[in-house]
Structure 1
Amino acid sequence: MLNIKTNIPGLQSLNNLKAVQKRMSSAMEGLSSGLRVNSAADDAAGLSIANRMTANLRASDKLTQGINDGISLMQVAEGGLNSINEILQRSRELAVQAANGTLSDGDRASINAEYKQLKAEIDRISRGTEAFGKHPLAPGLPEPTTAILGNTPPLGQKFPVSGSGGSFSSGIVSTAYVPAGAKNVTLTIDSLGADDDIQLFARDGTHLVGTPLLGADADIVWMQRQVTDGASAKNLVLTTENGFLPTASYSDAQLLQGPATYDASGGATGTYNGMTFTYSGDGDRYEDALTGGYNNGSNGANRVERLNIDEATEDLVLLVVGQGAFTATVTWDTMPSPTVTPPPPPPPLSTPTEILLSASYGNRPDSVTIEPTPSDSASLGLADVELDPIEKAREALSKLQQAMNKVDRYRGQYGALSNRFEGAIVNLVQEKISTASARSRIVDADYAKLSAELVRTQILQQAGTAMLSQAGQLPQAALTLLR
């Protein structure tokens, strides 16, 4: 059909020309950038994969740098250990000389003076060895220890497992303390004949549970221990060694003595500072006074006493007062393990150093910790080592040997880690090469292919332009019909 208003061949030629120009533009972009994937439109999945690979490649460089820093740190530390080892060798040489009985006291004193200088040099090297702000040979942080009150351990130390028991001697020395936070603690004792009584105190000296200490009805277990008034209680019982505060003073205003009748499986209830106590009472105080058995220091049939604490809101001091032996069992729902950390030595301190070995995209980082190797004289067990007198010199031989063995273990630790890190670097390098190769296959341009595509699209563009020109001439044929 011949028409003027709509040039169908022209439209088709124009559409094909636009498509050719788009492909030619894409080929030119790839050739100029060197990339096959220049935007998500080129290959959305490939771009996502390549981006993850790029993250791994960039991380690999920093991982290698960090591992090399770790190796450098260990090399510095081993250099310091080598110097310390030489000093230990000389120290042991001096100890062997000082242990010889042919030396005079003056000779041995001179040897000891040199040894003290060597020990001071060990401390200087251990604190002065530094790399990247770390001091691998300096003293380490002290380990937390179980918190005791005076000489009184926590209840969980004497009874490590709920339901455990044991045999103990009674007296006026505290048995243990119930730490704050303990829940549903039940103590059951068997006096085994002689009268032994549970006594529970707050650390300020408040008598919470047990038998009376004051007055005409004071219990025999206190009188047998010459504890008869507040002053004797302060001097003999409420001591800091027993876990009481230095300002503690005796008070029985809160004393729970037990029920009206003996109840080994239950008892009377009292409260103090948010705590509830249940106490069975002392069997010796329930015996018949007419038979002469009341409060005579012999339990008879009522040998068992039981105390329950619902929840300790503060530390409580527990004693079993008497003059014999008893067995005890303790159960609980919750028993904290109080600890105390000694003050740290003066800086610098050695602390663990974590070195990353891998940080693959989407995976949890993998690391190795370089443990501290404290090598000061105290950490090596030489704090109290002397070479004078001769007995000390002979003791020093074994301690110096132990110190040398410790230094050898440290050096072995560094050597093993250095070899591991070297292997990790080799693996990272190979992994980087493989990842770069894989990423190249995804995103890098194939110049042969793109060059051929550019030539093809240039030819098609020229042909398309010519055909569009020809299509523009077609309406001219219609004018000949009108002439």
Structure 2
Amino acid sequence: MVVQHNMQAMNANRMLNVTTSAQSKSTEKLSSGYRINRAADDAAGLTISEKMRKQIRGLDQASTNAEDGVSSVQTAEGALTEVHSMLQRMNELATQAANGTNSKDSDRQAIQDEIDQLTTEIDRVSETTKFNETYLLKGDKGATKNVYMNGHDAGLKGTLTDSAKSATFVMDTLKAGDKYTIAGKEYTIGSAKTELTDLIDKADKELTAAAAGTKDVEIDGKTYTLTYKQGGNTIAEVGGNAVASLTDLKDKVKEGSSVSYDGKTLTAMNDKLGGGTDGKAADGIDDDDSSIITAAQAKKLIKAELIAANNIGTVDSKATVDDGTDDAATGKTTFNITKGYATVADTLSFNLHVGADADMTNKINVNIDSMDSASLGIKGLNIKDDSGNAATYAVDAISDAISKVSSQRSSLGAVQNRLEHTINNLDNVVENTTTAESRIRDTDMASEMVNYSKNNILAQAGQSMLAQANQSTQGVLSLLQ
């Protein structure tokens, strides 16, 4: 029996300390709700949990970023909705102005005034639409680009092929007798005096090539017979005197003359095209009927209309059109169009970060073109003219603008739909990751309560046993009495 070393008490005390420590940990877990309150509780679990927490909080913010992106896209798209409405109204006005019943001085002026106001409002919407101090529709003011206008055929019969900076208009080569509508007016292609004299030359050349026989040419109802003669064919008017030379025969062709040869009859326009006596300048237009013009004059008119149609909306560089090239092999005439452009602010581009990691694939790019009148190709739109052709060409330009706004709205709508799916996915990942993190870090309250109750009972028992062990040495006193 010893006093100095009460091993029963020491053992009871040691076990009581173990139980008290376990009870303290259970109390901490139950009160905090976390199974891991310090690295010592579960070192590996803490590491995994913290990585998951980083991902969860990053994804929560990414979802908020995407929601902000949806808001900005909705702001831009909402403004473009009104731009669309204004363009549709401008289309109505241009169509109205194209009607021939309008008066240039009053009706078309009133229409022009409204178009000017609508154009100004489109510019204002472009300049002022913003989200969180970012202007959405005025482009990137730090850079510029050239916006080339779409190619147009001015309503002419033919085929237009459009490309980035140029276009080609191909039509059937005009021949004498053809009818062709230019700027709403139908023209008949008349013959120039040279075409008639070329027909006489053709007869002379064919006779020379044959080296025998005769050829009959009829001029203004009179027949002239060309007879082959080596060194120069002879000419005689049937029933009349001989003609001295081929040149004299061609001099008989005057304004309004007709020449027939080999089943083909050409009538010269009544225009001063060399040899005329009316004192008027040769302009390719019949002096008696302005709807009869030469093919060369028709090409000039076609070129002018192509220029007018393709110059709508050009600001910094005007469109140009060549004189048209005839291809005898294909029977086609090609006009090459160099398109004009307006220099505008470059496309606004920003990225929405929709992930928790520094990965570039976590960025969704949003591009919004400048939506002012210059970018849309309707700056300085003018529908005032006597014929209404300017308004007719304006309809095409407005149609191009509507198409451009539609394309931009479609792009924004696609981004918005993508962002909504992104938000749904992010929220789903956050939920599932949070569930996984909860399994690692959160306290299982029921299980821990069992441990707490066990440790509570053990603590009470340990205290009782310690008290009993301390009493065990009292027997020593009986030996000392």
TM-score range, shorter chain: 0.5 to 0.7
1:438 aligns with 2:461: no
- Counterparts of 1:399 and 1:433, CA distance in 2: 51
Q: State the match for 1:369 in structure 2.
A: 365
One-letter identity of the residue aligned with 1:112? Q
Q: State the match for 2:350 in structure 1.
A: 353
**CA deviation after TM superposition for structure 1 residue 344, in Å:** 8.2
**CA deviation after TM superposition for structure 1 residue 10, in Å:** 1.8
- Counterparts of 2:453 and 2:92, CA distance in 1: 86
Describe the shift of the 1:68–1:33 C-alpha distance in structure 2 as closer, same or farther (beyond 3 A): same
Q: State the match for 2:227 in structure 1.
A: none
Matches within 5 A, 1:466-481: 466-481=464-479
- Counterparts of 1:352 and 1:36, CA distance in 2: 47
Q: State the match for 1:83 in structure 2.
A: 82
- Counterparts of 1:435 and 1:145, CA distance in 2: 46
**CA deviation after TM superposition for structure 1 residue 39, in Å:** 0.9
Q: State the match for 2:118 in structure 1.
A: 118
**CA deviation after TM superposition for structure 1 residue 126, in Å:** 1.5
- Report SS of the residue matched to 2:461: helix
One-letter identity of the residue aligned with 1:15? R
Describe the shift of the 1:365–1:443 C-alpha distance in structure 2 as closer, same or farther (beyond 3 A): farther
**CA deviation after TM superposition for structure 1 residue 403, in Å:** 0.6
- Report SS of the residue matched to 1:103: coil
1:45 aligns with 2:41: no
- Report SS of the residue matched to 2:37: coil
Matches within 5 A, 1:176-195: none
- Report SS of the residue matched to 1:72: helix
**CA deviation after TM superposition for structure 1 residue 454, in Å:** 1.2
- Counterparts of 1:143 and 1:38, CA distance in 2: 54
Q: State the match for 1:400 in structure 2.
A: 398
| Residue pair 2:145, 2:344 contacting (<8 A) in 1 also | no
Q: State the match for 1:321 in structure 2.
A: none
| Residue pair 1:139, 1:376 contacting (<8 A) in 2 also | no
Describe the shift of the 1:37–1:364 C-alpha distance in structure 2 as closer, same or farther (beyond 3 A): farther
**CA deviation after TM superposition for structure 1 residue 436, in Å:** 1.5
Q: State the match for 1:136 in structure 2.
A: 136
**CA deviation after TM superposition for structure 1 residue 85, in Å:** 0.9
| Residue pair 1:81, 1:407 contacting (<8 A) in 2 also | yes
Q: Which runs of 5+ in 1 are unaligned?
A: 147-341
Q: State the match for 2:448 in structure 1.
A: 450
| Residue pair 1:134, 1:350 contacting (<8 A) in 2 also | no
**CA deviation after TM superposition for structure 1 residue 383, in Å:** 2.0
| Residue pair 1:142, 1:343 contacting (<8 A) in 2 also | no
Q: State the match for 1:380 in structure 2.
A: 376
One-letter identity of the residue aligned with 2:11? Q
| Residue pair 2:122, 2:373 contacting (<8 A) in 1 also | yes
Describe the shift of the 1:138–1:461 C-alpha distance in structure 2 as closer, same or farther (beyond 3 A): same
Matches within 5 A, 1:157-176: none
- Counterparts of 1:354 and 1:419, CA distance in 2: 16
Describe the shift of the 1:461–1:139 C-alpha distance in structure 2 as closer, same or farther (beyond 3 A): closer
> What whole-Å deviation, never above 9, does each CA across 1:272-321 have from its counterpart, x for those lacking one?
xxxxxxxxxxxxxxxxxxxxxxxxxxxxxxxxxxxxxxxxxxxxxxxxxx
| Residue pair 2:9, 2:466 contacting (<8 A) in 1 also | yes
| Residue pair 1:385, 1:392 contacting (<8 A) in 2 also | no
- Report SS of the residue matched to 1:104: coil
- Counterparts of 2:69 and 2:359, CA distance in 1: 22
| Residue pair 2:97, 2:111 contacting (<8 A) in 1 also | yes
- Report SS of the residue matched to 1:408: helix
**CA deviation after TM superposition for structure 1 residue 136, in Å:** 1.5
**CA deviation after TM superposition for structure 1 residue 38, in Å:** 1.0
> What whole-Å deviation, never above 9, does each CA across 1:250-283 have from its counterpart, x for those lacking one?
xxxxxxxxxxxxxxxxxxxxxxxxxxxxxxxxxx
- Counterparts of 2:379 and 2:392, CA distance in 1: 16
**CA deviation after TM superposition for structure 1 residue 417, in Å:** 0.9
Describe the shift of the 1:54–1:12 C-alpha distance in structure 2 as closer, same or farther (beyond 3 A): same
- Counterparts of 2:43 and 2:350, CA distance in 1: 41
TM-score, normalised via structure 2 length: 0.55
Q: Percent identity?
A: 35
- Counterparts of 2:401 and 2:344, CA distance in 1: 22
- Report SS of the residue matched to 2:113: helix
Describe the shift of the 1:363–1:396 C-alpha distance in structure 2 as closer, same or farther (beyond 3 A): closer
| Residue pair 2:353, 2:362 contacting (<8 A) in 1 also | yes
Describe the shift of the 1:442–1:363 C-alpha distance in structure 2 as closer, same or farther (beyond 3 A): farther
Larger radius of gyration: 2
**CA deviation after TM superposition for structure 1 residue 372, in Å:** 1.8
**CA deviation after TM superposition for structure 1 residue 145, in Å:** 7.5
**CA deviation after TM superposition for structure 1 residue 459, in Å:** 1.4
Q: State the match for 2:228 in structure 1.
A: none
One-letter identity of the residue aligned with 2:376? L
- Report SS of the residue matched to 1:383: coil
- Counterparts of 1:381 and 1:364, CA distance in 2: 35
**CA deviation after TM superposition for structure 1 residue 144, in Å:** 5.8
One-letter identity of the residue aligned with 2:56? L
- Report SS of the residue matched to 2:417: helix
- Counterparts of 2:424 and 2:46, CA distance in 1: 28
Describe the shift of the 1:6–1:366 C-alpha distance in structure 2 as closer, same or farther (beyond 3 A): same
**CA deviation after TM superposition for structure 1 residue 134, in Å:** 2.0
Describe the shift of the 1:467–1:130 C-alpha distance in structure 2 as closer, same or farther (beyond 3 A): same
- Counterparts of 1:393 and 1:23, CA distance in 2: 91
| Residue pair 2:344, 2:370 contacting (<8 A) in 1 also | no
1:97 aligns with 2:96: yes
TM-score, normalised via structure 1 length: 0.54
Q: State the match for 2:249 in structure 1.
A: none
> What whole-Å deviation, never above 9, does each CA across 1:393-431 have from its counterpart, x for those lacking one?
232222111111100001101111111111111112211
- Counterparts of 1:125 and 1:144, CA distance in 2: 20
- Report SS of the residue matched to 1:472: helix
Describe the shift of the 1:364–1:466 C-alpha distance in structure 2 as closer, same or farther (beyond 3 A): farther
**CA deviation after TM superposition for structure 1 residue 462, in Å:** 1.5
> What whole-Å deviation, never above 9, does each CA across 1:217-270 have from its counterpart, x for those lacking one?
xxxxxxxxxxxxxxxxxxxxxxxxxxxxxxxxxxxxxxxxxxxxxxxxxxxxxx
Describe the shift of the 1:344–1:394 C-alpha distance in structure 2 as closer, same or farther (beyond 3 A): closer
Describe the shift of the 1:429–1:143 C-alpha distance in structure 2 as closer, same or farther (beyond 3 A): same
Q: Which runs of 5+ in 2 are unaligned?
A: 147-341
- Counterparts of 1:391 and 1:448, CA distance in 2: 86
Describe the shift of the 1:447–1:15 C-alpha distance in structure 2 as closer, same or farther (beyond 3 A): same
Matches within 5 A, 1:45-444: 45-106=44-105, 107-141=107-141, 143=143, 351-360=348-357, 366-389=362-385, 390-444=388-442
One-letter identity of the residue aligned with 1:28? T
Q: How many residues align?
A: 283
Q: State the match for 1:459 in structure 2.
A: 457
